[in-house]
A and B are shown apart, each in its own frame.
Chain A
Amino acid sequence: SQKIEQNSEALNIQEGKTATLTCNYTNYSPAYLQWYRQDPGRGPVFLLLIRENEKEKRKERLKVTFDTTLKQSLFHITASQPADSATYLCALRAGGSGNTGKLIFGQGTTLQVKP
Chain B
Amino acid sequence: GAGVSQSPSNKVTEKGKDVELRCDPISGHTALYWYRQSLGQGLEFLIYFQGNSAPDKSGLPSDRFSAERTGGSVSTLTIQRTQQEDSAVYLCASSFMSPEQFFGPGTRLTVL
> Which chain A residues have a beta carbon within 8 Å of chain B's beta carbons?
4, 6, 32, 34, 41-46, 49, 89, 91, 93-94, 98-108
Contacts and interface: CB of A to CB of B under 8 A. Distances in A.
B101 A100 contact: no
Interface stretch (B14-22, B37-45, B71-79, B80-88): B37-45
Given A43-B4, A89-B43, A100 B103 contact: no
Interface residues of B, number: 26
A91 B42 CA distance: 10
For the complex of A and B, 7 pairs with smallest distance between CB atoms = A43-B103, A107-B42, A105-B42, A105-B43, A46-B100, A102-B45, A102-B48
Nearest to A96: B58
Given A43-B91, A89-B42, A32 B99 contact: yes
B33 A102 contact: yes
Contacts of B59: 102
Contacts of B103: 43-45
Given A43-B93, A107-B41, A99 B99 contact: no
Contacts, number: 61
Given A43-B4, A94-B45, A100 B56 contact: yes
Contacts of A89: 42-43
A46 B102 contact: yes
Interface in B32-61: 33, 35, 40-45, 48, 50, 56, 58-59
B59 to A, nearest CB: 7
Nearest to B48: A102
B25 interface: no
A99 B53 CA distance: 10
B31 interface: yes
Contacts of B4: 43
Contact of A43 (B95, B99, B104): B104
Contacts of A91: 43
